[in-house]
Amino acid sequence: MEMSVSEKIPQQVITLLEEATPDRVRFIKLGRKSKWWPIAKETNTIRIGFKTFDFGLCAAGNWTAAKSAFEETTTRTRQADVTRAVNQVQEFFELPISTLWITIEDGDVWWCFANNKVENLYTGAEDDEKEQSSGARLRKVVDTWRNTDVDGKRLRLDAMTTKITKVASFQETICKPDGAVDILRKIRGERSELHSLASRTVEALAQHVGDILDQLHQDDFELLIELIFSSSGWRRISRVGGTQKTLDLALVLPTTGESCFVQVKSQTSHSIFKQLVGELSNYSGYRRMFFVYHTPPYAFENPDADRVTIWSRYDIAKQVISAGLVPWVLARTT
């Protein structure tokens, strides 16, 4: 499998990620209410509690004896709860370095691989307070916890499928998430065949919509731009066009009070754009200017990107699609 490799990700981690399988993906909740996440992130470790499990028996892989000893502590009394606890501890001790561990914290999905060695942090009742703050056992992470894919794109929780995010409500410590396949794709920066097909279709639609925008009458073109902005919550505070030399469309965003003005032109030139940018200082009451046109079809070099946004025809086409205005455009073109 070919993969884009970020320079910040060591080759060992890339190799592990290339070889990872959905069966070897595990979600881990780092303490009750994620109380161990800060120390786990800082020290690049994964951690569990379960202090009443005998560390020696677990490290030796004697799970029959470990289960019996755990039952004697009466920490859990229902047989199903005992079995669930044993299975989670066993996975923490025995899942290999090739296991992809994920957790959901700080609005992101975080991932890592962990070295095989399990270290004991709990040696007796005197460590109860320490265990509460740091966990009872840990494994050191290979390199570091990460919240970006291999291309450096942040793995934002709000951009994830519910198949991934629903695991955050898991009440135990370790589980195999339903969205393991999707998680691997996200981290690897891969897309399914259907996703790629849909993406190419949208790109082709934007190309075709952009190619017919020059058929719109100037009045229709200005109205289209106003409809795009209004669909995003902007409210017009001056009429389109008129006698004003530069201010074609003045807008305000009611939720924040932010104001902007939009210069709408069917056909224009780079020299006209430069002139308008030079006049921008005359409009101190506006935080941003949008320069919108369909001809020529390419975007101009922008000397003031902090305050000026350029929409050429294909940028407009993407906004048309996003606002659901493709039928509107098709009805006014041939």
Is beta strand 235-236 parallel, antiparallel or unpaired with respect to 249-253? antiparallel
Confidence (pLDDT) at 79: 93
Helices 63-72 & 79-94 angle (0-180, nearest 10): 130
Under a CB-based contact definition with an 8 Å cutoff, are residues 293 and 266 in contact? yes
Confidence (pLDDT) at 159: 85
The terminus-to-terminus CA distance of the chain in angstroms comes to: 45
| Nearest-angstrom CA–CA distance, 34 and 25 | 19
Q: Give the Cα-Cα-Cα angle 67, 51, 125 (nearest 5 degrees).
A: 125
Confidence (pLDDT) at 239: 62
| Nearest-angstrom CA–CA distance, 62 and 69 | 11
Report the run of H or E that residue 328 belongs to, with start and end.
helix 326-331
Confidence (pLDDT) at 5: 40
Under a CB-based contact definition with an 8 Å cutoff, are residues 74 and 102 in contact? no
What's the sign of the alpha-carbon dihedral 90, 91, 92, 94?
positive
Is beta strand 137-140 parallel, antiparallel or unpaired with respect to 119-120? antiparallel
Under a CB-based contact definition with an 8 Å cutoff, are residues 261 and 283 in contact? yes
| Nearest-angstrom CA–CA distance, 193 and 191 | 6
Confidence (pLDDT) at 2: 43
User: Residue 327, SS3?
Assistant: helix
Confidence (pLDDT) at 129: 75
In eight-state DSSP terms, residue 154 is B
Helices 313-322 & 218-231 angle (0-180, nearest 10): 50
Confidence (pLDDT) at 1: 42
Confidence (pLDDT) at 133: 81
Beta bridge partners of 207: none
Under a CB-based contact definition with an 8 Å cutoff, are residues 163 and 175 in contact? no
Domains and CATH numbers, the chain: 11-188 (3.10.590), 196-331 (3.40.1350.70)
Whether the upstream peptide bond of residue 327 has omega within 30° of 0, thus cis, is no
In tens, the pLDDT along 201-226 reads 999 999 999 999 999 998 899 899 99
CA dist list (Å): 201 to 72, 122, 212, 282, 325: 62, 56, 17, 42, 17
| Structure-token pair, residue 95 | 């899942």
Under a CB-based contact definition with an 8 Å cutoff, are residues 17 and 109 in contact? no
| Structure-token pair, residue 274 | 């430069």
- pLDDT tens for the chain, residues 1 to 334: 444 444 589 999 999 999 999 999 999 999 988 999 999 999 999 999 999 999 999 999 999 999 999 999 998 989 999 999 999 999 999 999 999 999 999 999 999 999 999 999 987 777 777 777 888 899 999 999 999 999 999 999 888 888 788 887 787 899 999 889 999 999 998 877 887 899 899 999 999 999 999 999 988 998 999 999 999 899 988 765 554 555 588 888 888 888 888 889 999 999 988 888 887 777 767 778 899 999 999 999 988 888 899 999 999 999 999 999 999 999 999 9
